Amino acid sequence: MPEGDTILRAARRIRPVLEGTVPDEIRTPQPRHGPDRWPQRLAGRRVTSVDSYGKHLFLRFEGDLTLHSHLRMHGAWAVYPRGARWRRSPRRAWLVVRAGGAEVVEFDGPVLELMTESRTRFDQRLRALGPDLLADDFDPDAFLARLRADDQTRGIGDALLDQRNVAGIGNIWKAEGCWGARVDPWRRVADVSDAEAVAIVADARPRMLAAAGVPAEEGAAAEPTARHVYKRAGMPCPRCGATIRARGQGEDNRTTYWCPGCQR
């Protein structure tokens, strides 16, 4: 599943193509969106901004209209020079926005909707999101407040995937952040200190920003996007040599990877 870093990277690629421009053409090839008449409703409108929040991406148009997307498990955003061959079948394109010499394409996007700007502010799903881990003004205290209001008997790994606690983390960076902070993802939230919880997101944040292509600050890790435990079950932990384990966790049974040797 694309995580916040993937969405931020997409926003950073799409922004220079679309922001401030009136697209030459907008198409919604998916038959489901045919009756919505988005190309007609968006015709002639300038894109005022392209931004991400957690795993959500927003194309905002003048005149109070916003395209909201969430990729779920298999969706993807891509930017191609016009005429270039796409990496996925055109049949899987849900949205094509052409501007200048480029095409912005959303593939396999199950959540794609045109909303008014005010509705994005009052939408229950969007309002429920916790602080965006990759936002410039990410506030660890806001994350802690959400985490402490959550069920304290949950495993911390499970709680980190809940976008109401912190928006943007998915299965990869949950596992890697817990490893970085030496916290066992199975430990109950009640038994994780505030400092430990903040250490997990503080470890994941710069790595995710690096994966999103945001220039690193000084003193950043040499290989910020390296994986230490994710999909490395049965292999030795790069820190302590113990064998990395994997097991499904939480309501959705997402596979959690951890090192029993150095994560407590």
Q: Which residues are catalytic?
A: 2-3, 55, 254
Q: How many residues of this chain bind Zn ion (CB under 5 A)?
A: 7
**Letter string b/e over residues 22-48, b meaning 16 or more CB atoms within 10 A of that residue's CB:** ebeebbbebeebeeeebeeebeebebb
Contact mark string toward Zn ion, 13..52, x via CB under 5 A:
----------------------------------------
- For residue 259, state whether it binds Zn ion (rule: CB under 5 A): yes
Least distance in angstroms from the C-beta of 259 to Zn ion:
3
SS3 call for 220: coil
Q: How many helices (H) and strands (E) does the chain have?
A: 8, 10
Report the residue number, 85 or 264, with the smaller CB distance to Zn ion: 264
Report the residue number, 214 or 246, with the smaller CB distance to Zn ion: 246
Per CB under 5 A, the segment of 35-43, 134-142, 166-174, 241-249 that binds Zn ion is 241-249
Concatenate the DSSP letters of all residues of 14-66 into one string.
Answer: HHHHHTT---SEEE--SGGGGGG-HHHHHTTPPEEEEEEETTEEEEEETTTEE
Contact mark string toward Zn ion, 199..238, x via CB under 5 A:
--------------------------------------x-
- For residue 246, state whether it binds Zn ion (rule: CB under 5 A): no
Pair of tokens at residue 246: 């994997």
Report the residue number, 128 or 242, with the smaller CB distance to Zn ion: 242
Report the residue number, 183 or 259, with the smaller CB distance to Zn ion: 259
- For residue 182, state whether it binds Zn ion (rule: CB under 5 A): no
With CB under 5 A as the contact rule, the residue among 79, 198, 246, 262 that binds Zn ion is: 262
- State the Cα–Cα distance between residues 105 and 38, nearest whole angstrom: 15
With CB under 5 A as the contact rule, the residue among 92, 119, 188, 239 that binds Zn ion is: 239
Nearest Cα residue to 32 out of 110, 138, 124: 110
With CB under 5 A as the contact rule, the residue among 240, 243, 247, 255 that binds Zn ion is: 240
Which residues are CB-contacts of 68 (< 8 A; sequence separation ≥ 6)? 56, 57, 58, 111, 112, 113, 114, 115, 120, 126
Least distance in angstroms from the C-beta of 241 to Zn ion:
7
Which residues are CB-contacts of 35 (< 8 A; sequence separation ≥ 6)? none
What residue number has its CB nearest to Zn ion?
237
- For residue 156, state whether it binds Zn ion (rule: CB under 5 A): no
| CA dihedral sign, ordered 203, 209, 211, 215 | negative
By the criterion CB under 5 A, which residues form the site for Zn ion?
237, 239-240, 242, 259, 261-262
